[in-house]
């Protein structure tokens, strides 16, 4: 028994010794491998001891990789990249360009803070718009460097020959006003811009601006097609017309259909100045298909200056009952009731600003003369009519309608019209058009027919359905 016990103890001691030696060897290997890793010496190890000693660094590296991947994956819930509708996969863009996404959202946030001013009252429109009542001198116009610290000017003298037309809906032609609420005196109503509005734009950096297009009416207009009446060859200090309002179908988010007046000056190059007002259907800008009252201006041919409505500093609004960019109601119907809006644009002889009046003597506001170069003096052309964008997205002409969506030859109650067109001369007189010309650059798609009579003065019918058998 004693011998067996001694033998067993000896074996046990030898086993413990071997285990200690193996442990020392493993520790020595780990130290050596750590040294090799620090000096980045490429070696190959396949033993289990190596895997065992590196298990902790591998876990750390794995966690670091996860932490790097997670922010990229989380951005997949973000909206598309800055450029949309360009054929690229938005999910791929979000995954591969998280820094660009962050830059875009910072831009949107800052832009919304700039144009959405603090409101003293908020009105919810039946059509879903939010109307903010903003203190007049805090509106976006007075962010302009040359307008800072100013307040809206008093109403100027109307042009001679101006006659008030009897209009029951002079201040109640917009959907938001049907709620019976208005903005208090000393404030103006501004349609609130949302993140969704900006994200619908083909580019967030050009939100609220027209893409550059040729103003001269020809067959090479970069997707913009027109049916217009125009006068040129003299000095123009304003224009007036009554514009028939419809709700034309727009078949593509990045197309629009509008009817408006243009007061134009410049060389039709990069120095082109325009003042514009009318109604438009623009799913990209507003997110729906309602016709909306709008204004526009540019002093460099739609490049870097100007915008729609109050989406940048420029137009100064003075009226507390009209929201520029809000939906118009009622609209005309085929073979049914007809509705039009009267607009007058004229240059104040005293201060040189260009004022906008709606309906029967309702001043909307003005474009300060400091916004312009050539229009600080006068216009060289005035245009009236319709414009659409033809994107040819499906490879053929768009079915976006102009005006009522029917050709001019169908006449009253079926085709859209402009009537009682006049211009303002150098002596601040409203005078009839003496040399109205009409032009449709794609007459098989949209056409125009002019005329004159004692009731409507100078007028024309215009419009069309877009794609048809003669407009493939």
Annotation says 172 is catalytic: no
Residue 442: which of 415, 418, 407 has the closest Cα? 407
Q: Can you give 35-61 as a three-state secondary structure string?
A: HHHHCCCCCCCCCHHHHHHHHHHHHHH
| Catalytic choice (167, 276, 284, 357) | 276
How many C-beta atoms surround the C-beta of residue 100 within 10 A?
Answer: 14
- Exposed, middle or buried by CB within 10 Å (0-12, 13-18, 19+), for 47? exposed
Q: Which two tokens stand for residue 462?
A: 């215009």
Compute the half-sphere exposure of residue 353: CA atoms within 13 Å on the CB side of its CA. Answer: 20
Q: Which two tokens stand for residue 132?
A: 């903010």
Element of type H or E holding 101: helix 98-115
Geometric angle at alpha carbon 295, from 291 and 298, rounded to 5°: 135
Q: Which residues contact 388 (CB under 8 A, 6 or more apart)?
A: 224, 225, 255, 256, 257, 258, 398, 400, 401, 402, 446, 466
Q: Which two tokens stand for residue 92?
A: 């791929």
Annotation says 387 is catalytic: yes
| Distance separating alpha carbons of residues 438 and 373, to the nearest angstrom | 28
How many C-beta atoms surround the C-beta of residue 213 within 10 A?
Answer: 15
> Do β-strands 238-244 and 447-453 pair in parallel, antiparallel, or remain unpaired?
unpaired
Q: How far is CA 285 from the centre of its chain?
A: 4
Residue 212: which of 389, 88, 464 has the closest Cα? 389
Which residues are catalytic, by number? 276, 387
């Amino acid at each position: 028994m004693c011998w067996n016990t001694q033998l067993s103890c000896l074996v046990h001691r030898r086993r413990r010794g071997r285990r200690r030696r193996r442990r020392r060897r493993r520790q020595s290997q780990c130290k050596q491998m750590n040294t090799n890793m620090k000096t980045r010496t490429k070696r190959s190890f396949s033993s289990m001891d190596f895997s065992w000693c590196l298990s902790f660094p591998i876990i750390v590296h794995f966690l670091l990789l996860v932490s790097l991947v997670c922010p990229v994956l989380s951005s997949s819930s973000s909206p598309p990249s800055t450029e949309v509708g360009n054929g690229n996969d938005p999910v791929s863009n979000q995954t591969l360009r998280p820094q660009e996404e962050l830059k875009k959202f910072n831009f949107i946030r800052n832009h919304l803070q700039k144009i959405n001013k603090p409101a003293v009252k908020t009105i919810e429109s039946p059509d879903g718009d939010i109307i903010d009542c903003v203190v007049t001198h805090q509106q976006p116009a007075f962010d302009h460097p040359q307008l800072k610290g100013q307040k809206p000017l008093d109403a100027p003298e109307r042009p001679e020959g101006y006659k008030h037309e009897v209009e029951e809906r002079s201040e109640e032609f917009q959907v938001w006003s049907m709620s019976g609420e208005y903005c208090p005196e000393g404030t103006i109503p501004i349609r609130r811009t949302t993140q969704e509005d900006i994200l619908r734009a083909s580019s967030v950096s050009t939100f609220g601006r027209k893409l550059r297009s040729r103003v001269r009416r020809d067959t090479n207009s970069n997707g913009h097609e027109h049916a217009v009446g125009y006068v040129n060859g003299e000095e123009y200090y304003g224009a007036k017309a009554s514009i028939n309002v419809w709700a034309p179908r727009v078949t593509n988010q990045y197309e629009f259909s509008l009817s408006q007046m243009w007061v134009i000056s410049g060389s039709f190059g990069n120095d082109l100045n325009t003042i514009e007002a009318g109604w438009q259907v623009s799913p990209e800008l507003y997110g729906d298909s309602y016709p909306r009252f709008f204004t526009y201006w540019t002093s460099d041919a739609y490049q870097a200056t100007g915008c729609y409505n109050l989406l940048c500093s420029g137009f100064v609004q003075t009226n507390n009952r009209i929201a520029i960019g809000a939906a118009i109601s009622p609209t005309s119907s085929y073979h049914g009731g007809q509705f039009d809006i009267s607009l007058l644009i004229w240059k104040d002889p005293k201060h040189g600003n260009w004022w906008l009046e709606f309906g029967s003597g309702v001043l909307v506001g003005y474009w300060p003369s400091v916004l312009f170069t050539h229009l600080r003096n006068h216009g060289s052309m005035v245009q009236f009519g319709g414009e659409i964008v033809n994107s040819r997205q499906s490879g053929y002409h768009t079915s976006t309608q102009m005006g009522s969506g029917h050709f001019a030859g169908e006449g009253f109650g079926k085709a859209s019209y402009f009537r009682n067109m006049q211009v303002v001369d150098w002596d601040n007189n409203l005078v009839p058009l003496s040399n109205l010309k009409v032009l449709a650059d794609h007459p098989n798609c949209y056409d125009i027919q002019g005329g004159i009579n004692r009731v409507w003065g100078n007028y024309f019918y215009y419009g069309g359905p877009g794609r048809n058998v003669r407009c493939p």
